[in-house]
Amino acid sequence: MAGARAGASSLIKLEAPEIDMETLATVHEPSYIEAIEQFCLAGGGALDPDTLAVSASWEAAKRAAGAGHVAVEYLSAGRADVAFLAVRPPGHHAESARAMGFCLFNNIAVTAQELITKGLRVAIVDWDVHHGNGTQSTFEASPDLLYVSFHQHPFYPGTGSMSDVGVGEGLGTTVNFPFPAGTAGDVYRRAMTEVVHPMLREFAPDWILISAGYDAHVDDPLAGLRLVPADYAEMAGGLAPLVSESRILFFLEGGYNLEAIERSVAATLKGVEGRPVGDARPSLESPTLAHQVVDELAARIAKFS
């Protein structure tokens, strides 16, 4: 993981600590945590058709889940301006008692829950190409967390409908943008400026956490969305002013083209700092259906205003 201070040229590189089991159990059932430990220490194997583990996965998963804690400490102490958690395994598919989609523990949910326990309000923006089913299920009844997901639909894991708006006290705090294949940066910009930014201003989070997957990149081989690095820069740059200084964390999620990830992560950090990206490839245009998703979401959300 790394925290930037006074420009991307000034990086503080940190090793993520192992999370303590009590904190991990605020999101995951103790019996599930124990089962993952025993599974990994026995040599690992396939938890489901997509999710494999080996012996070393136990330590890696504990460190990935513990990274957010030290990042929050550094940012809270003013020792860094922004944190990017380059951890593996990713996390946003992991449910309270189920590993899914390469994810063992829900890293971003663990950090969010720790902040909520301190009496703070948290917003999670998930721009991974897949819906963060684990994150949504963890917080869908919480009035203290706003969850926003941009994802391709229909696509794995099959969740993230526009009709999912939270339950109980969390009604109105879940927002899903299920975009069709071919959706590009023009629609993401509309969604951010017309829907997400106003919601964040009204919700007034103390922290913004981003599930920063880069598999929506146009060069990613797994999916069909068409973002370019400049789009990630613009999204990050638009989110940064909506929270107090040094209160924004990025958690690496999916991404299956290493060059695209590298360029997009660099653009993300430049966007937070307001620096030009210099990407030669312009933003692409989206199909009409993608714009209709934004229109319908705006109308749905207006009912909760």
Could you give the dihedral angle defined by the CA atoms of residues 23, 24, 25 and 28, in that order, rounded to the nearest 10 degrees?
150
What is the distance between the terminal CA atoms of the chain, rounded to a whole angstrom? Answer: 37
The overall longest dimension of the chain from CA atoms, in Å, is 51
Q: How far apart are CA 175 and CA 131, in angstroms?
A: 11
φ and ψ at residue 149, rounded to 5 degrees? -125, 130
Q: How far apart are CA 79 and CA 102, in angstroms?
A: 32
Q: How far apart are CA 178 and CA 197, in angstroms?
A: 18
Whether 92 is catalytic: no
Catalytic residue among 28, 93, 131, 217: 93
User: Across the chain, how many H-helices and E-strands are there?
Assistant: 10, 10
Nearest to 268 by CA among 105, 129, 25, 85: 85
Return the half-sphere exposure (C-beta side, CA atoms, 13 A cut-off) of residue 110: 31
> What does each C-alpha distance from 23 to 30, 99, 142, 146 come to in angstroms?
11, 18, 18, 21
Bridge partners (DSSP) of residue 248 are: 208
> Burial, 108: exposed, middle or buried (Cβ in 10 Å; 0-12, 13-18, 19+)?
buried
The one-letter code for the residue type at 202 is E
Q: How far apart are CA 230 and CA 213, in angstroms?
A: 15
Token pair belonging to 73: 């400490």
Catalytic residues: 93
